[in-house]
């Protein structure tokens, strides 16, 4: 019975994002975190974080001007030069996008993550996998 649903989005107040004090604020800062020790052929969790506003285009700033859409839409992960994962994102991913994904550590090589946004920005970060 879709007609009986109350559309709560209609009477939601207009919201503006403000950064919490002390948070990193420069767009494009990126971090990759690997486990402290990696064994050969183990499946490890790779955590990657990028500082990015991920604006949907539906919000307005304090003066009432619309904030244009500005979000990361493509992420590629390479391991030793070989692509192992690729993510397609929309503005539905939260701000400062975080992702954790699995990787089979088959050799000592570099893990590189490249983020691309809808305004042509390209951000990248890399870290070496070393067996402990």
Q: Does 102 bind another protein (CB under 8 A)?
A: yes
Backbone phi and psi for residue 2, each to the nearest 5 degrees, phi listed first: -65, -25
Is position 131 an interface residue for another protein (rule: CB under 8 A)?
no
79-98 footprint of another protein as x/- string (CB under 8 A): x--xxxxxxxxxxxxxx-xx
The 10 Å Cβ neighbour count of residue 92 is 8
Is residue 7 at the binding interface for another protein, with CB under 8 A as the rule?
Answer: yes
DSSP state of 132: -
Between 26 and 94, CB nearer to another protein: 94
CA distance 63 to 58: 14
| Shortest Cβ 110–another protein spacing (Å) | 14
Residue 57 interacts with another protein (CB under 8 A): yes or no: yes
In the complex, the smallest distance separating the C-beta of residue 112 from another protein, rounded to whole angstroms, is 14
Residue 1 binding another protein, by CB under 8 A: yes
Closest to another protein by CB, 27 vs 99, is 99
116 Cα distance to chain centroid? 10
Report in angstroms the alpha-carbon separations of 115 from 28, 72, 79, 95: 9, 7, 15, 14
∠ CA 22-26-30, nearest 5°, is 100
Lookup: tokens for 111: 């893990």
Give the footprint of another protein on this chain (CB under 8 A).
1-2, 7-9, 12, 15, 43, 45, 56-59, 77, 79, 82-95, 97-104, 106
């Amino acid at each position: 019975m879709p007609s009986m649903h109350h559309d709560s989005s209609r009477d939601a107040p207009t919201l503006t994002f403000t950064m919490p004090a002390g948070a990193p604020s420069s767009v494009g800062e990126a971090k990759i975190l690997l486990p402290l020790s990696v064994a050969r052929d183990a499946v490890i969790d790779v955590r990657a974080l990028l500082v990015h506003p991920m604006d949907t285009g539906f919000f307005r700033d304090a003066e009432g001007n619309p904030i244009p859409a500005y979000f990361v839409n493509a992420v590629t992960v390479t391991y030793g030069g070989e692509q192992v994962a690729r993510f397609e994102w929309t503005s539905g991913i939260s701000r400062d996008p975080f992702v954790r994904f699995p990787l089979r550590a088959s050799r000592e090589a570099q893990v590189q993550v490249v983020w691309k946004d809808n305004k042509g920005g390209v951000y990248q970060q890399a870290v070496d996998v070393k067996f402990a």
